[in-house]
């Protein structure tokens, strides 16, 4: 143990072993490792006790790029729609302030403006993932 009471070596959990095993299998599928190397490393993965030993098994393999979520409001048409909805909301609030009506009546039109922008962003996002290959194949 070190001075803080934390063990210097942590025991590996099954999730740690599975994460490393999937990296090794992916590297074997890409042709970076031979079948014998994959078998050797996988047998070592399931026999390891500590996390630092697991790190050594994949140190010579490239790390997978983190998956990024597409930006929902990244499309120019959605941004224009959002700008128009905000401008209309501001005009509705100004109109409500000038009118002197005691209840906040712009809430309902602003709600539907927000729903329309969110639906537009959702449709644009789904359409973009379908074009990138995320949709179903049609014969």
Residues 115-134 have a mean pLDDT of 74
Nearest C-alpha neighbor of 69 from the set 129, 19, 136, 135: 129
Tens-digit pLDDT profile for residues 64-98: 777 776 666 778 888 899 999 999 999 999 999 99
Tens-digit pLDDT profile for residues 95-104: 999 998 899 9
Residues 39-57 have a mean pLDDT of 89
Average pLDDT of the chain to the nearest whole number: 83
Cα separations (Å) of 107 from 16, 73, 98, 103, 124?
A: 49, 23, 16, 10, 26
pLDDT band per the 50, 70, 90 thresholds, residue 12 = confident
């Amino acid at each position: 143990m070190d001075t803080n009471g934390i063990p210097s070596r942590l025991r590996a959990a099954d999730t740690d072993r599975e994460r490393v095993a999937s990296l090794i299998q992916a590297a074997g599928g890409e042709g970076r490792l031979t079948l014998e190397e994959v078998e050797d490393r996988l047998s070592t993965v399931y026999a390891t006790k500590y996390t630092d030993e697991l790190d050594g098994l994949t140190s010579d393999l490239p790390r997978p790029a983190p998956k990024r979520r597409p930006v929902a409001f990244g499309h120019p048409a959605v941004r224009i729609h959002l700008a128009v909805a905000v401008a209309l909301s501001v005009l509705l609030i100004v109109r409500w302030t000038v009118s002197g009506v005691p209840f906040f009546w712009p809430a309902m039109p602003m709600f539907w403006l927000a729903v329309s922008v969110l639906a537009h962003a959702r449709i644009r996002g789904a359409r973009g993932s379908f074009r990138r290959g995320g949709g179903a194949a049609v014969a």
